[in-house]
Every structure is written in C-alpha cells, then in structure tokens.
Amino acid sequence: MDSFNPDEVTVRSGHFIGGEYVEGGEHGARRMEVARPSDGVVYASVPVADANMVDRAVENAWQAFRTSGWARMAPRERAKILRRFADLVEADALALGRLEALGSTRPVAQAVSWDVPFTAEGIRFYAEFADKLGGDVAATDHDHLGMTIAEPYGVIGAIAPWNFPLVMASWKIAPALAAGNAVVLKPSEMTPFSVLRLAELAVQAGVPAGIFNVIQGDGRTTGDELVRHPKISKVTFTGSTRTGAAIMAACANSGTKPVTLELGGKSPQIVFADAPRLDDVARRIAGAITGNAGQVCVAGSRLLVERSLAEPLAERIGRIFAELKPGATWAAGTTLSPIISEPQAARIESIVGRTLGSGATLRYGGVRADAGGSSSGAASGALAGAFYTPTLLTDVTADSEAVREEVFGPVLTLQTFDTEEEALALAQHPEYGLAAGVHTADLGRALRFVRGLEAGTVWVNRYGRTSDFMIPTGGYKRSGIGKDLGRQAYEANLRFKSVLIDLRQ
C-alpha cells in the first residue's frame, strides 16, 4: 500500500439525508472544525445538526421506512441489495481506506487491507440473516394457532465513536438494515467523513433513499436530539461508559426506548508460566495494547503475569514496543497510530504522570513519540500530531490510576501473581467487564478462567477477534448492554409480535 498526500483527498461535507447531501449550513447553523490526528491540521468542517435538522433526517427515514418498500420486500431481495452494497464497499477499498486514514487514527495500509474489507464482510454476514428469522409457531392446543412474528422497529438511531469509524458504524447499520429498519447514524464529530461515502454506496447498491441517513454534529446537541426524537424506536451506541449512561437516561425519558450500549473496558491479560511459546505470547500482549495506539475498547491494558515469567516477558514486550514506527496515517510504513487529539494525548500523559507519582516504575515509554516528518509530500515537516510511546508501568496496584481507569492509549500495566486464585481476583475489575485473555497450556485452568472471569469475551491463547462474525461482542457490568455482531445483534434490531388465533370461530 502506497503513501498518499492528504492534501489531495477531498471530503464531502454536510449531512446525507434522503439519499442526497444536505449542506446544512443555512440560517447560520453552527459548524465544527475537523482536524487530522496525524498532524493537527484542520482540513474541513462539518455542520452541527440542530433539532430541526435531526427532525428532517428522522422524518425522512420514517417516510422511507413506511413507503419505500424496504421493510416489506422479499427478504432475499433485501439480502441481494445488501450483498451488492458489500461488493461496492470492497471495490472502493482504496478510496474509502484513504478517506478513513485521512482523518482518523487508522494507518492507510491497515484501513485498506482490514477496515474496509472487514466492513464489507460484516454487511455480507447480516445480508445472509435477512431471510433466516421470521418468527416462530408456538405449540398450542389444536383449536388455536400461536405465533411470534419478527418485525423491524422502524427508525434506529445509531451513534458511533471515532476509533474505527467505518467498522464501528457498520456493526450498527448492517444488522439494522438487514432486519428491514431505516437508520439515522451520527458518527463522531472527530471522524465524520468515511461513513458519508458508505451511505452513498448503499444508495448506489439499491438501498432506497432515506433508509440510511447520516447526520453530523456533536454529542450534546445532535446526539442528544437524535436519541430523544419521538420517531426513533431504538438506540444503538458505541462509546464511553459515561456517554452510554447519559444516552440510557435520555432513552428512558423520551419514550422508554430500548438501547444497545457498547462501552468502555479495562481488559486483563493473564499469563501463566506454562504458556506455550513465550515469544508469541509477548507479541500478542504487545499487539493488544499498541494496535491503533491502544485506542481500542478491548485493548488488553492490564498484564497479570505469574511471577517467574514477569522479567523475561517484560523484556520481550519492550523489544517489540521499540520496533513500532510512529508516523502519519497516510504514510505507508506507519505501524504506531497517532492519538486522536491533543487533549486525549495530554490525558494519557497525566494519567501516567499521576500513576508514577503514586509509586509506579516506568519500565518503557512514558513520553511523547517523535513521529518525524511525513513521507507523503504533505506540507508539514515534523508532524505536529499527538503521538505517545508504548508504555509499560510496573510496581502498580489495583488502586493505581493507570490500572483502574480506561486510558485509551498505548499504556500497559504489569502486576504479578503467585496463585490461580490471586490471578482471578486481580483480573476482575470493579466496574468494567468487556474482554479478557488467558494464556496457559493447562486446559482445565483455561476453562476455570472462562467460567470465572466477569467479561463479555474471553480469549484463550489468543487476543482479539477473528472474522467469525457469529461470535458477538459486548460487555458485562458497566462495559455495556446487549451485543454487536452475532445472531444477537440481528435479533436486537427486531421486535417480536405475539399472535394467537382462535380457530373455532
């Protein structure tokens, strides 16, 4: 994958409503500047949808839901259109990948080879569900016929984060569309553009205009208006636990709407001395905290290691950290992503600083990374973006800030244990329960951890998902409610009507 010049990529601003771009700048509507994480350059702005604009988008979606035939067409027809949509996304990988890389933390090589194809495959996965679940016939006495009929909700309000703009949005829209709903999606105000292209491609594939809409804006104005709109029947959200709680309250106060919430995490990686192939384990552990510079909900941010292995594992992790090359997301060789924004980098710095102040030891990293110049021909020399070196902190306790708080950066803490019981106790976080990794050769022990861990996902001798979309993702405790992916996410976009017919009349 070649580098590209970010100044040569143009973006379409505005909202995407009813199958077309709506500039939305009328009547002095507020706008927000959008900066490139890699160099801090403001490259565009987006309008902030106010109550009127949100209403326009939702009304459009509602009319399309009722009149376009999307919900009523033969489900195999819907599947065919969605498969075509997936094909168009895949064919657009280079343009879409560049658009994703331009304004997010996703390096172009990864965006083109993983984010875009993974998005396309997720759409295909849900297309295949469209005609697989229509409801059930119940066992009743002979004089009655009892059924449950699966029906779409209507208009789904979807709100997405910035860390994987296309993939996170596709996990919301694909099951919603396959189930026959219309969607109004609000991307993060920091990464607003790639999903506009996604919505355009949906229309090109034959998804009726108005079934997939995108509105731009911040959370406090646009997100809140969307969630509260009376014609939004269900809300699906991915983002921080704090925002998720605010959205849940807004849903409760605006019509007791159902919610799916995919929230924050502080996931442990537990390594026993018998774990096979220590070099591979070290690579897995390092990869799980440096991928996307740790800006991953399931980042494996707490390393718990059996005491005898702590030193050799830490050394290997340090060597892998040193291999990573920070750089612009548009440079072909970048292997360490920028931090999304300067305030977020400052937050990482201050959490590390306070943790060191409370007695932790800095084993590796702990400083801003020098990303050097850009190889793209972009205007700047040294990059002014925010980069942070992969960091390992030791001598921490369960109370250390970097162990307790979701840092959302490449910061790994290391704690040691002597017994299985101690490892399990350390692994349980008081609030979060998103994911966990267990690395051991002992099957019985692995399964005891699978049973014992309070986490929505447990990986054994690996860390991170595959493209087995049937395996859902979602959190226990304050890491979320409901699931993305899997059959569960499809069912969560349907409501079930019970019918009982008396056959004696």
Residue nearest to ligand NAD (CB): 219
For residues 276 and 441, the answer to whether their CB atoms sit within 8 Å is yes
Alpha carbons 360 and 355: distance in angstroms, whole number: 6
Alpha carbons 143 and 501: distance in angstroms, whole number: 8
Nearer to ligand NAD, 378 or 403 (CB): 403
Indicate the SS3 state at residue 392: strand
Q: Interface residues with ligand NAD (CB under 6 A)?
A: 159-163, 168, 186, 188-189, 218-220, 223-224, 227, 238-240, 243, 246-247, 262-265, 297, 406, 408, 434, 473, 475, 480, 484
Alpha carbons 387 and 85: distance in angstroms, whole number: 35
Q: In angstroms, how far is the first alpha carbon of the chain from the final one?
A: 69
Nearer to ligand NAD, 57 or 310 (CB): 57
Minimum CB–partner distance for residue 356 and ligand NAD (Å): 23
Alpha carbons 162 and 69: distance in angstroms, whole number: 32
Q: Give the active site residue among 200, 262, 349, 405.
A: 262
What does the angle CA 259 – CA 262 – CA 268 come to, to the nearest 5 degrees? Answer: 150
Which tokens is 152 given? 């779409």
Alpha carbons 347 and 350: distance in angstroms, whole number: 5
The number of beta carbons lying within 10 Å of the beta carbon of residue 56 is 18
262 is catalytic: yes
HEC secondary structure over 248-295: HHHHHCCCCCCEEEECCCCEEEEECCCCCCHHHHHHHHHHHHHHHHHC
Nearer to ligand NAD, 7 or 218 (CB): 218
Nearer to ligand NAD, 248 or 332 (CB): 248
Nearer to ligand NAD, 246 or 278 (CB): 246
For residues 147 and 136, the answer to whether their CB atoms sit within 8 Å is yes
Alpha carbons 461 and 284: distance in angstroms, whole number: 9
Q: Give the active site residue among 100, 200, 297, 406.
A: 297
Long-range pairs of 498-503 with CB within 8 A, sequence gap ≥ 24: 498/146, 498/147, 498/148, 499/145, 499/146, 499/147, 499/148, 499/149, 500/140, 500/144, 500/145, 500/146, 500/147, 501/144, 501/145, 501/146, 501/147, 502/143, 502/144, 503/142, 503/143, 503/144, 503/145
Q: CA 338, 344, 346, 352 torsion: positive or negative? A: negative
Q: Please give the full DSSP string across 178-231, using - where no structure is assigned.
A: HTT-EEEEE--TTS-SHHHHHHHHHHHHTPPTTSEEE----IIIIIHHHHH-TT
**Active site residue ranges:** 262, 297
